[in-house]
Structures are given as structure tokens and as C-alpha cells.
Amino acid sequence: MAVKTQMLKGLLEGCVLEVISRKESYGYAICEELNESGFADLNEGTVYPILARMEKGGWIECEKRKSPFGPKRKVYSLTETGKNRLEDFKETWKSIKNNVDNVMKASDEYEDKYEDKE
């Protein structure tokens, strides 16, 4: 489980940036979109610290806006730095995904080759 948690930490930043790049959004809505995309056990307690780090790092900016359902909401949008970070993430992800796919494909081919001989 610790390996999954470590892997998710880096990936979630890129995913949160991607969600915000599509449209300005607030924490709960970002969490909901990530849940709908397959991160089923993700909760706001995970997303809000990521948003805080990104805001502190200058990747996103926050504006408090009126909400029809109570107190003002923090609505997040990407800064130029955030847009650049997202592009870097996408390039890195493509490279890593390709490398992992190659390793897994080679592993599958190895198993197919040697399982047939047994």
C-alpha cells in the first residue's frame, strides 16, 4: 500500500493541474472530478494539501467567490507557472508511461515464450 501512496503523490499534482486547466474550480469539485476519473478513494483531505502546496509554489492562484450554498468558495485557476508545470508533467508522464509499457510488454513476451516450453 505504501508504494501505491508514493506513486499517487506525484501523479495527483499533475492530475489536479489538468482538472484546473480545463476550467477554474474549487476543491470539492476537483475532488469529485478526480473520483469520476477513477480515483475512487480520493478525498478532500488529500486534495486540499496539494492545492495549498501549488498555491504556495505559484502554480495556481485562488480567488474567493460567492457560493449559492453558503460561505465563499476558493476558486482555483492556473498561473503561467502552473501551465508550464502541467506541460512538463505531461511530457514526463508520456516518457515514463512508455518506458513502463515497454518493460511490461517485454515481461509478457518473456512469460509467453518460456511458459510454452514447460
Which region, left, alpha or beta, applies to residue 58 given φ > 0 means left and ψ of -120 to 50 means alpha?
left
State yes or no: pLDDT of 8 exceeds 60.
yes
* Gap between the Cα atoms of 101 and 90, Å rounded: 16
Mean pLDDT of the chain: 89
State yes or no: pLDDT of 25 exceeds 90.
yes
DSSP 57: T
The partner residues of 70 in beta bridges, in order of sequence, read: 67
> Taking Cα atoms as reference points, which of 88, 62, 5 lies closest to residue 39?
5
Give the domains, in start order, of the chain with CATH numbers. Answer: 2-86 (1.10.10.10)
The kind and range of the H/E element at 117 are none
Give the C-alpha distances (Å, rounded to integers) separating 84 from 3, 89, 100.
Answer: 28, 9, 24
User: What one-letter code names the amino acid at 57?
Assistant: G
The half-sphere exposure of 10 on its side-chain side, counting CA atoms within 13 A, is: 10
For position 110, what pLDDT does the model report? Answer: 63
Provide the percentage of residues in the chain whose pLDDT is more than 90.
63
pTM for the structure as a whole: 0.82
For position 64, what pLDDT does the model report? Answer: 95
Region 22-44 average pLDDT: 93
pLDDT tens digit string along 51-107? 999 999 999 999 999 988 889 999 999 999 999 999 999 999 999 999 998 888 877
For position 67, what pLDDT does the model report? Answer: 87
